[in-house]
């Protein structure tokens, strides 16, 4: 999790946007549909 700024005890310091994305990731979403175009290799 390279985006984690630093750790605070057992917690990771992240933004609300990261928190939302992680929630979706942990829930195992299979499709993410998005605009605007996001950077991707």
Partner 1 sequence: METLVVERLAQFVNNGELDARMIKVESEHSACSAAFGAQAAGVRAFSATNSQGLALMNEILYIMSGARLPAVFGIVNRAMSSPINIWCDHSDTMGCRDTGWIQLYCESAQEILDTTLQAFRIGEHKDVLLPVMVCFDGFILSHLYEPVYIPTRTEVKPFVGKYRPHVKLDPDKPVTMGPVGMPDSYMEFKKQQAEAMEAAKKVIKDVDREFKRRYGRGYGGLVEKVNIPAKTIIIALGSVCGTIKEVIKKHKNIGLLRIRSFRPFPEKEVKKACAKAENICVIDRAFSFGNHGPIFTEVNSALRNCNATITGFIAGLGGRDITPDDIENVIKNADEGGTLWLDVFGKGVSR
Smallest distance from partner 1 to CB 6, Å: 9
Give per-residue burial for 1-35: e unless 16+ CB within 10 Å, then b.
eeeeeeeeeeeeeeeeeeeeeeeeeeeeeeeeeee
Smallest distance from partner 1 to CB 2, Å: 8
Q: Would you give the binding string for partner 1 spanning residues 2-41, x where CB under 8 A is met? A: -x-x--xxxxxxxxxxxxxxxxxxxxxxxxxxxxxxxxxx
Residues touching partner 1, count (CB under 8 A)? 37
Longest CA–CA span in the chain (Å) reads 36
Residues that bind partner 1 (CB under 8 A): 1, 3, 5, 8-41
């Amino acid at each position: 999790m390279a985006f984690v700024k630093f750790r605070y005890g057992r917690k990771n310091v992240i933004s609300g946007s990261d928190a939302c994305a992680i929630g979706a990731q942990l829930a195992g979403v299979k499709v993410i549909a998005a605009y605007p175009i996001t950077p991707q290799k």
